[in-house]
Amino acid sequence: MKSMKKSKRFNNGLVYTILIVLSVIWILPILWIIMISFRAEQGAFKPYFFPKALSLDNYIRLFSDTQQFYFFRWFLNTLFVAICSCIISTFFTLSVSYVMSRLRFRLRKPFMNIALILGMFPGFMSMIAIYYILKGFGISQSLLALILVYSGASGLGFYIAKGFFDTLPRALDEAAYLDGATKSQVFWKITIPLSKPIIIYTVLTTFIAPWMDYIFASVIMGDNYDNYTVALGLFKMLEREFIHQYFTQFAAGAVIISIPISILFISMQRFYVEGVTGGSVKG
Amino acid sequence: MSQIDYLMMPWYKKIPYRIYIGIKGIVLGLIAFIIAIPKRTVKICKTIGGGVLSYFRAFRYGDIKTKLSFIIMGASNALRGQIIKGILFLIGEIAFIIYMVKVGVSQILGLRHLGLVEQGWTFDEELGIDILAEGDNSMLILLYGVFAMFIVIGFILLYISNIRAAVTAEEIEASGKKLPTFAKDIKDYFDGKFYKTLLTMPIIGVLMFTIIPLVYMILIAFTNYDNMHQPPGKLFTWIGFGNFKTMLVSNGLISSTFWPILGWTLIWAVFATGLNYILGILLAMMINKKGIKYKPLWRTIFITSMAIPQFVSLLVMKNMLNAEGPINVLLKNWGLIERSLPFLTDGNWARVVVIVVNLWIGIPYSMLITSGILMNIPDYLYESAKIDGASPVRMFRHITLPYVLFVTTPYLITQFIGNINNFNVIYFLTGGGPSTLEYYQAGKTDLLVTWLYKLTVNSKDYCYASTIGILVFVLSAVFSLIAFRRSSAYKNEEVFQ
């Protein structure tokens, strides 16, 4: 009996050691970038690991520079795009998922299959065509174009929200229909008030997307620096001609962007898990 | 072979048997799919034929007002009192005719050649010098042609709904009831036809930003729109399956780039998915182990890494792995190495590093997904296994893994397809590099999708990029097909509700 306890303790000790080592590996890059963001010495790479002096200069310069890297403006751009596209996409996603979950009509299955097929093409295969279509409308390189690109096709991403609507009891709807409610009344007055979690999830994920996207933004904006988003700007800072001067500012920018997004993500991880496992299992 | 026979087999026979079953499944699935195609086509043709026939009958047996609305749209409705509805149909028809006469017909005809007049210098008699004569722009001709085709399709749908409305109006009148007023029609869009109201805007969005661009790019795959044929200077035109031939079977540089990249893409997808998955389960098991304290703390540590925007964490990683970056600095300071390790600059190193860094990003994901499932595995399974003297490895292989796999197969397949299309890790970490002369416009770590990106953005070989896009689609479609055929959840979607 004693030896078993001992081996258990040894086992747990082993697990603790592994967990600590792994935690260090996982935390190290994050610590490093935070450290760099406070580093007083400029330049990209130093022959030593820990900074010699710390300061807030990088953050101050990041937001006060208006010449080469107008970070504050890019920040506002991204915020604007994120708010607009999150409103449109939330509306689109919720309407499509509600229709697919609750309403029955002839083309329902075909629509769902088409959505599935469209999702299998690589997303940015059509990037260039979208760019020319936007150019045809005369709005390429503008923030409006970016909003449209982020939210336009959001109707296709209905699977997770549909999974949620599927779990709402149907009896509520039917009771309302018996009382003479129309379908639109049921949608607005019964389903929407009950769907707070999925609305929050959709709003947050669509709000975060513009902060993380680099590819579409880079193709659509090209060299129009005024309308850059933060992701484009931060990527630009690491280009060969800028990296030595701006590396520490890049670190500061990265930290500033990551903090709110990380907090949002950690607070909604529950929905995320439900979305991925539940959503996919329920089809 | 029965279940018992399988269990009795030694392990070295089990593996080939599994592979055999897997391949058989894929082949049978494909055959079933191909066999289903003609059946489906016949069914669709029948539906369309039946539809046309019913409209023909409507024309033959309808009264004069209904007959009139086959030529003047909305006539039946307008003459029976639904004036606004009728006028709306008529406006649609007039607008379409004006559009077709003015530009539509020439736009659709333009699709035949994609432009004939090349831009060039012509001698101007009046000025006495050469001037630049504008030629046709194949790119715009194709784009407008695609738009025109969609407008025609839209008009056909409008026309059909016009005939339906005409027939319904006649039927209602014949039965002696009152026709619904316009206000009542509108009201119906918030009740019986509420789905149409909700779907209109999202579908327009999907059409504009997914379907039309996709159709355009698919068509591009059948043209020679590469960097030698760039509008407005040059024309491009249809070449059929030429690009697929160049990509798949020719001996040229492009096909000798395609096959190695396809191979690497599959290797990458298998490793990135499999390793992340298994190591993620192991991590989740360690955190969930009885007697381990501070579980939420451990979980949060690992989740933090996935909460950071990928482009930030990957760019940070890239700089950490730089020849002068902190990892090399640390190793040098500790005296472990003398010269910097070529993490991202040597082909083979870079491939391994990319997979390893992807572990950093991916393990927390699968940890998070599988943790909840692990907690649901009943304890008695482990206890009885322990009494039978099973080793931890055996318990993992025969209890944990099958249990988790059962629940997460769809997730695993989506992960696999996601990794075939994994742009971020490769692009931000190595940019596809180290570049090599053996490949056309690609580096040693490029996946098909990053190669596609480079072909569009850097070298403007749009036709090859589109061809790759279609091939990636075929690849994903085959895997999803297998996955969805096997997941009963998909088949029983209605039952679940």
Kindly give the confidence (pLDDT) of every residue in chain A, 283 residues in length, as a single tens digit, with 9 standing for 90 and above: 456 666 777 778 888 899 999 999 888 888 888 888 888 887 777 777 777 878 888 888 888 877 778 888 888 999 999 999 999 999 999 999 999 888 888 888 888 888 888 888 887 788 888 888 888 888 888 899 999 999 988 888 887 788 788 888 888 888 888 988 888 888 998 888 888 888 888 888 888 888 888 888 888 888 888 888 888 888 888 888 888 888 888 888 888 888 888 888 887 777 767 666 554 433 3
pLDDT of B439 reads 86
Banded model confidence at residue B95, pLDDT cuts 50, 70, 90: very high
Cβ distance A182 to B329 less than 8 Å, yes or no, reads: no
Q: Where are the domains of chain B?
A: 1-48, 62-118+132-240, 253-496
Picking from A16, A129, A266, the nearest residue to B307 by CB comes out as A266
Give the whole-angstrom CA distance, residue B362 versus residue B359. Answer: 5
pLDDT computed for residue A281 by the predictor = 38
Report the distance separating Cα A43 and Cα A271, nearest Å: 41
Residue A164 CA, distance from chain mean position: 20
**Could you say which of B289, B322, B369 has the minimum Cβ distance to residue A277?**
B369
The predicted structure's pLDDT at residue B96 = 94
For B395-452, the pLDDT digits (tens) are 888 888 888 877 777 778 878 888 988 888 898 888 887 888 888 888 888 999 999 9
From the CA of A66, how many Å to the nearest CA of chain B?
22
Give the model's pLDDT for residue A66. Answer: 76
Say which residue, A5 or B495, is predicted with more confidence.
A5
List of chain B residues whose C-beta atoms are within 8 Å of the C-beta of residue A101:
497
Query: Which amino acid does the sequence have at B325?
Result: G
Subunit contact A265:B307, Cβ cutoff 8 A: yes
pLDDT at B98 over 70: yes
How many residues are recorded in chain B?
497
Considering only alpha carbons, which residue of chain A is nearest residue B449? A122
Mean pLDDT in residue range B146-175? 89
Give, as one character, the DSSP assignment of residue B117. P
Contact A32, B325 (CB under 8 A): no
Least CB–CB distance from B205: residue in A152, A235, A262? A152
Of A73-87, B45-59, B322-336, B400-414, the range with the highest mean pLDDT is: A73-87
How many CB pairs (< 8 A) connect A and B? 254
Looking at chain A, which residue has its C-alpha nearest residue B321?
A29
Sign of CA dihedral A248, A253, A257, A263: positive
Please tell me which residue of chain B has the smallest CA distance to A262.
B307
Q: Phi and psi of B120, rounded to 5°?
A: -170, 180
Q: Which residues of A touch B449 (CB under 8 A)?
A: 122, 124
Across the interface, of B191, B213, B317, the residue whose CB is closest to A184 is B191
What is the mean pLDDT of the segment spanning B93-106?
92
Give pLDDT tens digits for B280-298: 988 988 888 877 888 888 8
Q: Tell me: the pLDDT tens digits for A101-125?
A: 888 888 888 888 888 888 888 877 8
Kindly identify which residue of chain B lies nearest to residue A145, measuring between CA atoms. Answer: B209
In this complex, which of A26, A182, A183 lies closest to B301 when CB atoms are compared?
A26
B343 contacts in chain A (CB < 8 Å): none
CB atoms B457 and A219 under 8 Å: yes
Q: Which of A231, A273, A283 is opposite residue B369, by nearest beta carbon? A: A273
Residue whose pair of structure tokens reads 């049978």 in the numeric block: B28
Q: What confidence tier does B488 reach under pLDDT thresholds 50, 70, 90?
A: very low
CB A33 within 8 A of CB A250: no
Q: Which CATH number fits domain B253-496: 1.10.1840.10, 1.10.3720.10, 1.10.340.30, 3.10.20.30?
A: 1.10.3720.10
Q: Please report the pLDDT score of residue A3 as a whole number.
A: 61
Within 8 A of B292 by CB-CB distance, chain A residues are 12, 15-16, 19
Residue B199 has pLDDT above 80, yes or no: yes
Please judge whether A276 and B212 are an interchain contact, meaning their C-beta atoms are less than 8 angstroms apart.
no
E strand or H helix that includes residue A35: helix A2-37
Flag if B313 and A25 touch (Cβ within 8 Å).
no
CB B317 within 8 A of CB A25: no
Which residue shows structure tokens 């002696």?
B176
A59-282, CATH topology level: MetI-like fold (1.10.3720)
Q: Cβ separation of A269 and B208 shorter than 8 Å? A: no
B129: β partners: B124
SS3 A117: helix
Phi–psi pair at B123, nearest 5 degrees:
-80, 125
Q: Can you tell me the distance from the alpha carbon of A211 to that of A230, in angstroms, rounded to the nearest whole number?
A: 7
Reading the block at residue B259, the tokens are 């096959």
> Smallest Cα–Cα separation from B322: which of A32, A23, A262, A249?
A32
For residue A95, give the nearest of B199, B316, B417 by CB distance: B199
pLDDT score of B3? 66
Shortest CA gap B49–chain A (Å): 18
For residue B199, give both structure tokens: 């779907």
**pLDDT of A260:** 84
Least-confidence region, from A269-273, B27-31, B98-102: A269-273
Cβ(A190)–Cβ(A173) below 8 Å? yes
Mind telling me how many Å the CA of B301 is from chain A's nearest CA? 7
The whole-angstrom distance between A280's CA and the closest CA on chain B is 6
Q: What are the backbone dihedrals phi and psi of residue B122, each rounded to the nearest 5 degrees, phi first?
A: -125, 155
Predicted complex ipTM: 0.83
Residue of A nearest to B198 (CA): A95
Residue from A214, A280, A282 whose CB has the most chain B CBs within 10 Å, to mutate: A280
Q: Do B496 and A166 touch (CB under 8 A)?
A: yes
| Tens digits of residue pLDDT in B224-244 | 888 888 877 788 888 888 889
Distance from CA of A68 to the nearest CA of B (A): 20
Best CA proximity match to A216, nearest among A130, A88, A118: A130
* C-alpha span between A53 and A41 (Å, rounded): 7
CA distance B89 to B78: 9
Chain A CB contacts of B190 under 8 Å are 182-185
Percent of chain B with pLDDT over 90: 18
What integer pLDDT is reported at residue B275 of this predicted model? 92
pLDDT at B496: 40
